[in-house]
A and B are shown apart, each in its own frame.
Chain A
Amino acid sequence: MTSPSRLPEPYGHDGGANLADILERVLDKGVVIAGDIRINLLDIELLTIKLRLIVASVDKAKEMGIDWWEDDPALSSGARRKELARENAELRERLAALETGRAQEESP
Chain B
Amino acid sequence: MTGLRYVYAVCRPFDAALQSQLTGVAGAPPKLLHHRGLIAVVSTVPERDFAEEPLRAHLEDLDWLTATARAHQGVIDALTTVTTPLPLRLGTVFRDDSGVRMMLEAREGDFLRTLDRLTGRVEWGVKVYAESAAAESAESVESGETAQGPDAENGWVAGKAMSGRDYLRRRSQSVKERESGLRKAEDFADRLHERLASHAEDSRLHAPQSAQLSGASGRNVLNAAYLVPRAQSEEFVEIVDRTKGEMPGIRVELTGPWAAYSFAGEKP
Which of B13-21, B31-39, B50-58, B194-202 lies at the binding interface?
A: B50-58
**Contact partner, A8, options B50, B59, B70, B237, Cβ 8 Å:** B237
Report the separation of the CA atoms of residues A44 and B69 in the bound assembly, to the nearest whole angstrom: 13
* B44 partner residues in chain A, CB cutoff 8 A: none
Report the separation of the CA atoms of residues A52 and B125 in the bound assembly, to the nearest whole angstrom: 17
* B249 partner residues in chain A, CB cutoff 8 A: none
Q: Are B255 and A29 in contact (CB under 8 A)?
A: no
A89 within 8 A of B: no
Report the separation of the CA atoms of residues A39 and B60 in the bound assembly, to the nearest whole angstrom: 13
A54 within 8 A of B: yes
Q: Are A8 and B261 in contact (CB under 8 A)?
A: no
Q: Are B265 and A20 in contact (CB under 8 A)?
A: no
A104 within 8 A of B: no
Interface centre among A4, A11, A33, A47 (most CB of B within 10 A): A33
* A47 partner residues in chain B, CB cutoff 8 A: 59-60
Q: Are A26 and B72 in contact (CB under 8 A)?
A: yes
**Contact partner, A18, options B50, B216, B219, Cβ 8 Å:** B216
Q: Are A71 and B262 in contact (CB under 8 A)?
A: no
Interface SS majority for chain B: mixed
Question: What sequence of 0s and 1s flags, for each residue 116-137 of chain B, a beta carbon within 8 Å of any chain A beta carbon?
Answer: 0000001001000000000000
Please classify how large the interface on chain B is, using the bins under 10, 10 to 19, 20 to 34, 35 or more.
35 or more
Shortest distance in angstroms between B90's beta carbon and chain A's nearest beta carbon? Answer: 5
Q: Are B88 and A12 in contact (CB under 8 A)?
A: no
Shortest distance in angstroms between A37's beta carbon and chain B's nearest beta carbon? Answer: 4
Shortest distance in angstroms between A87's beta carbon and chain B's nearest beta carbon? Answer: 16
Q: Are B87 and A57 in contact (CB under 8 A)?
A: no
**Contact partner, B209, options A17, A20, A25, A108, Cβ 8 Å:** A20
A43 within 8 A of B: yes
Question: What sequence of 0s and 1s flags, for each residue 251-268 of chain B, a beta carbon within 8 Å of any chain A beta carbon?
Answer: 001111110011011101
Q: Are B146 and A36 in contact (CB under 8 A)?
A: no
Q: Are B258 and A25 in contact (CB under 8 A)?
A: yes
**Number of A positions contacting B (CB below 8 A):** 53
Q: Are B94 and A11 in contact (CB under 8 A)?
A: no
- CB-CB contacts below 8 Å: B1-46 with A: 4, 7, 10
Q: Are A2 and B234 in contact (CB under 8 A)?
A: yes
Known contacts: A7-B234, A66-B205. The answer to whether A19 contacts B99 by CB under 8 A is: no
8 contacting pairs across A/B (C-beta < 8 A): A10-B77, A11-B255, A12-B255, A23-B69, A26-B73, A31-B86, A33-B89, A57-B209
17 more A-B contacts (CB under 8 A) besides A22-B70, A29-B89, A65-B205?
A19-B66, A20-B213, A21-B255, A23-B66, A25-B73, A26-B69, A29-B265, A30-B90, A31-B10, A31-B89, A32-B88, A32-B265, A52-B207, A54-B210, A60-B220, A64-B207, A108-B145
B residues near A (Cβ < 8 Å) are 4, 7, 10, 50-52, 55-56, 59-60, 65-66, 69-70, 72-73, 76-77, 86-95, 99, 102-103, 107, 114, 122, 125, 142, 145-146, 155, 205-210, 212-216, 219-221, 230-235, 237, 253-258, 261-262, 264-266, 268
A residues near B (Cβ < 8 Å) are 2, 4, 6-8, 10-13, 17-33, 35-40, 43-44, 47, 51-52, 54-58, 60-61, 64-66, 68, 71, 73, 106-108
